[in-house]
Amino acid sequence: MFLKKLKNVEKRYLELEKLLSTPEIISDREKFSTYSKELGDIKDLYEKTKEYKDTLKEISDTKSLSSEADMKELAEAELDKLEKRRQELEKAIEILLIPKDPLDEKNIIMEIRAGTGGDEAALFAGELFRMYLRYAERNNWKTELISSNPTGLGGYKEVVFNIIGKGAYSRLKYESGTHRVQRVPKTESGGRIHTSAATVAVLPEVEEVDIQMEAKDLRIDTYRASGAGGQHVNKTDSAVRITHIPTGTAVACQDERSQYQNRFKAMKLLRAKIFEVAEETERKKRAQNRKIMVGTGDRSEKIRTYNFPQSRITDHRIGFTIHRLEQVLDGELNETIDALITADRVAKLSNLK
């Protein structure tokens, strides 16, 4: 089965190379782009496949040498090296055989909302917001606020923002769900530990070509912004609410000073939400087919607990625990994210076999 898959990859790679050299494909921009992308996607796998086949041949040739008395010791030492290389290549190829998520290279829109816990939940939502901003900064990704509903204590009832950077979705898609915090709130005089929660949703940013919305299906309302924001507040109708009538999905944006900027950001958020609704059925189908499920992306799923007294963070989906809470909240998320990616790969590999 393994070798058959590799043979198919080789066949397709050579077929694509041939197609991309033909005049009719070269003159068809759309087909040329599609085939070029497919060729690029399987290039690493093709090269690893060639290396794997060369290694198998070397193993076979070396085994024949080991039957000769004067070459036996040297051949056996070489065989050890070649067998290790074969195993390494098999692991690398297995990972490359996992179907790629077509959304992985996308930018993301992240929504964080305070859940149960009142002011403490809002403060925690603010800490999660800062954690993801720091993580983006560490990866040299850009961030852009879309909308926010801050509280007087420095927290957020809700905050929506863009993270712009190659591979942002591939790294942060596992963050969707309910995040719980266990600690003594600053407002608690009795020193009792409280449990509060905030929900996170990670949406891939989509372009107009990815999701079609007709003007007749949109209701656009403008109103005066409220809350912090400077002189424009309550003086101009700069805030925008857009409702997608067929699904009832509504988004609002008021953080920018101009109605145009708020409308642009609201449309970006609405496209992401409509796309997410369309993807939900497929995601559930994919999740049901897994032997191990890292996460469904459902924000009602309790995915992680942040325990302050023990400086502990536990990801419940994979039973992963680390005692570096302060560093994680400062954006050092790679250890946790890498563990989730590994678990997801293991699950997908088990389904390939």
CATH of the domain at 136: 3.30.70.1660
Q: Is residue 264 part of a domain?
A: yes
pLDDT of residue 152: 79
CA 58 to chain centroid, in Å, comes to: 40
pLDDT of residue 229: 43
Does residue 337 surpass a pLDDT of 80? Answer: yes
Q: The whole model's pTM is what? A: 0.72
Mean pLDDT of 83-104: 86
Domain end position, chosen among 97, 120, 145: 97
pLDDT of residue 239: 85
Q: Are 292 and 275 found together in one domain?
A: no
Q: Are 202 and 297 found together in one domain?
A: yes
Q: Is residue 125 part of a domain?
A: yes
Q: How many CA atoms lie within 13 A of 242 on its CB side?
A: 24
Q: Is residue 343 part of a domain?
A: yes
Q: Is residue 29 part of a domain?
A: yes
Q: Is residue 251 part of a domain?
A: yes
Q: Are 127 and 197 found together in one domain?
A: yes
Helix ranges (DSSP H) in 66-163: 72-97, 118-138
Question: Could you list the residue range(s) of the whole structural domain that residue 172 is in?
Answer: 108-206+288-352
Q: Are 84 and 136 found together in one domain?
A: no
- What does the pLDDT look like over 99-124, one tens digit per residue? 778 888 899 999 999 998 888 999 99
Domain count, the chain: 3
Q: Are 62 and 21 found together in one domain?
A: yes
- Tell me what the pLDDT averaged over the chain comes to: 84
CB burial of residue 273 (10 Å; 0-12, 13-18, 19+): buried
Q: Are 178 and 197 found together in one domain?
A: yes
Q: Is residue 232 part of a domain?
A: yes
Q: Are 294 and 265 found together in one domain?
A: no
Report helix, strand or coil for 241. Answer: strand
Q: Are 13 and 87 found together in one domain?
A: yes
Q: Are 176 and 149 found together in one domain?
A: yes
The residue with greater pLDDT, 214 or 16, is 16
- What does the pLDDT look like over 185-236, one tens digit per residue? 876 666 788 899 999 999 998 876 567 778 888 888 888 776 544 444 445 6
